[in-house]
Chain A
Amino acid sequence: MSYQPGHSLLSFLEFVLIELFFQYIVAGLTYGTIYAIIGIGFNIIYNTTGIINFAQGEFVMLGGMTAVTLHAFLPLPLAIVGAVLCTMVIGGLIEIAFIRWLVKPSVLRMIIITIGVSILIREAARTVWGEGVRSLPYFTGNEVSALSFCGVRVSPQVLWSIGVCSVIVLLLNLFFKYTMLGREMRACASNREAAALCGIPTRSMVTFSFVLSAGIGALAGCVVSPITYTQYSIGTGLAIKGFTVAILGGLGNSMAAVGAGFILGILESFSIWVLPTAYKDTISISILLLMLFVRPGGLFGDKEAMRLKDF
C-alpha cells in the first residue's frame, strides 16, 4: 500500500486516513500492553489479599528508574534484570513492613496505607533521582529506526513491548497452572482459610504476590522507558490506567485484563482525533467511572456472579 502520484485526491486522503488509522492502532497497542501489565499486577495482589495496591504504578516507575541508573555501568540486559530484582525486593519489603502483621485490616485502612506507601516511594524517588526525565536506550535500533509493515511504520521497541507482554502473560499462565507455588497462590486466592488448613503458608503467599507483582511492574517499566520516558511522578497516572484495565476486564481476571488493556489503549489513542492531547487521561478515567457506574463486574464479568459481589 503506497501512494503513487497521479491518483485522485480522494484516494490520497483515503490512503492517509488508512495509514493514520493503523498508526493509531499500533500506538494504542503499545500503551495497551503497558496498561495490561499493570492491570495484571493489580489482579495478582487483589487475588491473594483482596486489597488494591495503590502503589502499583510506583513499581513501574522504580523499575524504569533503577534500570536507567544501573545501565550507567552495566550492559542493558543485566541492568534490566537487576532493576527487576531490586523492585521485587522492595515489593516484598513493603509487604513485610506495612501489611503482613496487620490483623484483619479494614478496606479503608488498607487503601490509605498503600496510598501512603506510594507517596513515600515517589518522594524517595524524587530525592534520589531528582525531577528530571530519564529513559533507557532503545533495545534494538534507535529513535528513528522503524520496521515497515504494509506501509505502517513500527518502532522495534513497540514490538519489544508487545512481545514482553505476551511472554509475561504466557509465563504467568504456565506458572499458575503447573507450578506448585502458582497452585498454592491460587488456592490462597480462592479460599484463604481452606488453603491455610491444607498447610499452605498463606502469609508468605501474600508476600510472594507482592514480589511477583512488583517484578512484573518493574519489567513493564523497563520495556516502555525508551518510548514513554520515566520520571518520579509517572506512577499515579499509570496506576489509574492499570486499575481501569483491571476493572474493565473484571477485577481478579488477569487474562481479561490483557484484552481490556488493548481496548483502553486503542480508545485512548483514537481519542486524540476528537480531543486535545491534554485531555487524553480524561478519556480513560471517564471510561473507568462509566464502567464502575454501569458494570462494576467488568466487560466480561458474569451477571449472576456480579450480583453476589459487594461493590
Chain B
Amino acid sequence: MKTSRHIPVFILFGVVVIVQLATAMTGKAFYLTQLTMTAYYSLIVIGLCLLMGFAGQISLGHAGFFAIGGYTSAVLTTLDLSAYKDTGPVVVLAKLGFLISRQGLYGGQVLSVHPWAACVAAVLLALGTAWAIGIPVLKLRGHYLAMATLGFGTIIYSIVLGTPRFGAADGISSVPPFPVLPGVNISGDSSIRLVNYYFAWILVLAAMVLLANLIHSRVGRALRSIHGAEDAAKAMGVDTARFKLYTFMLSAVLAAVAGVFLTHFKGGIGPSEASIMKSVRYVAIVAVGGMGSIWGTLIMSVVLNFFSLRGYFGTFDDAVFGGILILIMLFAPDGIIGADLRRMVGNLLPKQKSSHGAGTHV
C-alpha cells in the first residue's frame, strides 16, 4: 500500500527529468523558465485542491495568500536598512544573522533582510492570516463562504494596489536572488535555469508526497468525511472545525511558499498576482483536474499554466479560464481526467460511490 502510493511520485520525477532532457536535446531549454513558473503555480493549486476537493471548502481568495508570501518577501529583501545600521533593533537583527549586506542596484552597499528570514516571516504571516481569517470564515458555507473568501482576496488586492510601499500598480521589482542552499540560487538568470527548474519541481514533489500521505492518513479520512456530510462527521466525533482550519492553513502556507519563490525567481511581483482573476484561475484548474484528485489537478495545472505562460491563449487568457470553468461545471463536474486517472492509479484514491461524488457538495 505504502509503496504503491508513491509510484506516481517516482513517475512524476521521471517525467520531470525526461522533460528536461527533451528540452535540452531539442534546443528548447528556454521552456524551462515557464516550466519552473508552472511548478510554483502548481504548488498553490494542489494546496487548494486539498481544501476544495477533500475538505470541501471553496476559497476564492488564494491569490491573496500568494501575494502575502510574495510581497512580504519582496518588501523585506529590498528594504535598505543601511541608514539605521547603528540603531538597536537593526544591530540585534544583524547579530542574529537575519540581515545580509549585498551590492545594490546602483553600486552601493544595501543592508537588507536575508531571504531565508524573509521567507520564514512570509510563511508565518500567511499562517497567521489564514488562522485569523479561517476561524470565522470556515464556519460559513456555500455562498457565504465563497463571498467571504472573495472579500478577503479583494481586501488584499486593494491593499497591495493602494499602498505606495508595495509599489502600487507597478509592484516591486529588483528583488535579489534567493540563496536557498549553497550553490542553489533562486533567480531568473538563464545560466542557472536548470538548477531552478529542478529545485521548483523537487519542491512540488515534496508537497505531493506530503499531501498523498496526508490524504491516506486519519486526517485525510476525516477531511473526506467532512466533505461528504459535515454533520455526520461531527456526530462521529470528528473535530470538523479544527480539520477545516488546519487544511486552510496548510493550503495558505503552500500558496505563500509559492509566492516567495516565484517572486525571487521572477525578480519582482505585481498586484495582478493578487487579483481575483488569479484566485478564480486556481479554482478553475482544481475543477478541471477533478476535485478530489491531486494528481489530476497537478496534470491540468501543468498543462494550463504552461500554455497560459507561453501565451498560447493570447489576449483571451482570462476568457479561456472562464470558459473552462463553465464547460467543466456544466458537463463534467467531476473533472475531465479525474475518473480516468483514478482507474489508472488503482488504489491511489478510494472508489467514489456515486458518479456525482467529489466536488459537488459544499
In contact, A282 and B158 (Cβ under 8 angstroms) = yes
- Residues of A near B144 (CB, < 8 A) are 247, 292, 296, 311
Which among A27-35, A109-117, A191-199 touches the partner chain?
A109-117
Which among A81-89, A100-108, A179-187, A210-218 touches the partner chain?
A100-108
Residues A270-303 near B (CB distance < 8 A)? 276, 278-279, 281-282, 285-286, 288-289, 292-293, 296
- Residues of B near A120 (CB, < 8 A) are 319, 322-323, 326
Q: B348 near A: Cβ within 8 Å?
A: no
Bound Cα distance from A184 to B14, whole angstroms: 62
In contact, B361 and A113 (Cβ under 8 angstroms) = no
Bound Cα distance from A285 to B143, whole angstroms: 15
Chain B interfacial residues counted at CB < 8 A: 47
Contact A117/B58 with A106-B360, A236-B276 known, Cβ cut-off 8 Å: no
In contact, B318 and A279 (Cβ under 8 angstroms) = no
In contact, A106 and B361 (Cβ under 8 angstroms) = yes
Contact A107/B143 with A278-B162, A286-B155 known, Cβ cut-off 8 Å: yes
Q: A70 near B: Cβ within 8 Å?
A: no
Contact A281/B360 with A98-B330, A102-B330, A107-B143 known, Cβ cut-off 8 Å: no
Beta-carbon contacts of A58-93 to B below 8 Å, as 1s and 0s?
Answer: 000000000000000000000000000000000000
From DSSP, what is the main secondary structure of chain A's interface residues? helix
Beta-carbon contacts of A235-248 to B below 8 Å, as 1s and 0s?
Answer: 01100100100010
Contact A111/B162 with A106-B362, A119-B280, A286-B155 known, Cβ cut-off 8 Å: no
Q: A52 near B: Cβ within 8 Å?
A: yes
Of B147, B150, B168, B284, chain A has the most CB atoms within 10 Å of the CB of B147
In contact, B329 and A116 (Cβ under 8 angstroms) = yes
In contact, A289 and B140 (Cβ under 8 angstroms) = no
In contact, A119 and B319 (Cβ under 8 angstroms) = yes
Beta-carbon contacts of B137-153 to A below 8 Å, as 1s and 0s?
Answer: 10111111011101110
Say which residue of B60, B150, B152, B162 sits within 8 Å of A279 (CB atoms): B162
Minimum CB distance partner of A296 in chain B: B144
Q: B76 near A: Cβ within 8 Å?
A: no
- Residues of A near B43 (CB, < 8 A) are none
In contact, B162 and A123 (Cβ under 8 angstroms) = no
Minimum CB distance partner of B324 in chain A: A116
Q: B283 near A: Cβ within 8 Å?
A: yes
Beta-carbon contacts of A148-169 to B below 8 Å, as 1s and 0s?
Answer: 0000000000000000000000
Bound Cα distance from A240 to B149, whole angstroms: 11
Q: Within the complex, what minimum Cβ distance (angstroms) separates B86 from chain A?
A: 33
In contact, B283 and A112 (Cβ under 8 angstroms) = yes
Beta-carbon contacts of B321-362 to A below 8 Å, as 1s and 0s?
Answer: 111111001100100000000000000000000000001111
- Residues of A near B283 (CB, < 8 A) are 112, 115
For the side of the interface on A, what is the size category? 35 or more
Bound Cα distance from A203 to B254, whole angstroms: 43
In contact, B158 and A278 (Cβ under 8 angstroms) = yes
Bound Cα distance from A247 to B361, whole angstroms: 22
Bound Cα distance from A292 to B154, whole angstroms: 16
In contact, B151 and A289 (Cβ under 8 angstroms) = yes
Q: B10 near A: Cβ within 8 Å?
A: no
Q: A304 near B: Cβ within 8 Å?
A: no
- Residues of B near A117 (CB, < 8 A) are 322, 326
Q: B130 near A: Cβ within 8 Å?
A: no
- Residues of A near B359 (CB, < 8 A) are 108
Bound Cα distance from A124 to B151, whole angstroms: 24
Q: B22 near A: Cβ within 8 Å?
A: no
Beta-carbon contacts of B152-182 to A below 8 Å, as 1s and 0s?
Answer: 1011001101110000100000000000000
Say which residue of A113, A285, A310 sits within 8 Å of B325 (CB atoms): A113
In contact, A119 and B318 (Cβ under 8 angstroms) = yes
- Residues of B near A281 (CB, < 8 A) are 154-155, 158
Bound Cα distance from A86 to B136, whole angstroms: 41
Bound Cα distance from A109 to B143, whole angstroms: 11
Bound Cα distance from A112 to B136, whole angstroms: 22
Q: B125 near A: Cβ within 8 Å?
A: no
In contact, A119 and B147 (Cβ under 8 angstroms) = no
In contact, B330 and A113 (Cβ under 8 angstroms) = yes
Say which residue of A52, A98, A123, A237 sits within 8 Å of B143 (CB atoms): A52
Q: B312 near A: Cβ within 8 Å?
A: no
30 example contacts (A-B, Cβ-Cβ < 8 A) are as follows A52-B146, A107-B143, A108-B359, A108-B362, A112-B283, A112-B287, A113-B330, A115-B283, A115-B322, A117-B322, A119-B318, A119-B321, A120-B319, A120-B326, A122-B318, A123-B318, A123-B319, A237-B154, A240-B150, A278-B163, A279-B159, A282-B155, A285-B151, A285-B154, A285-B155, A285-B158, A289-B137, A296-B144, A311-B140, A311-B142
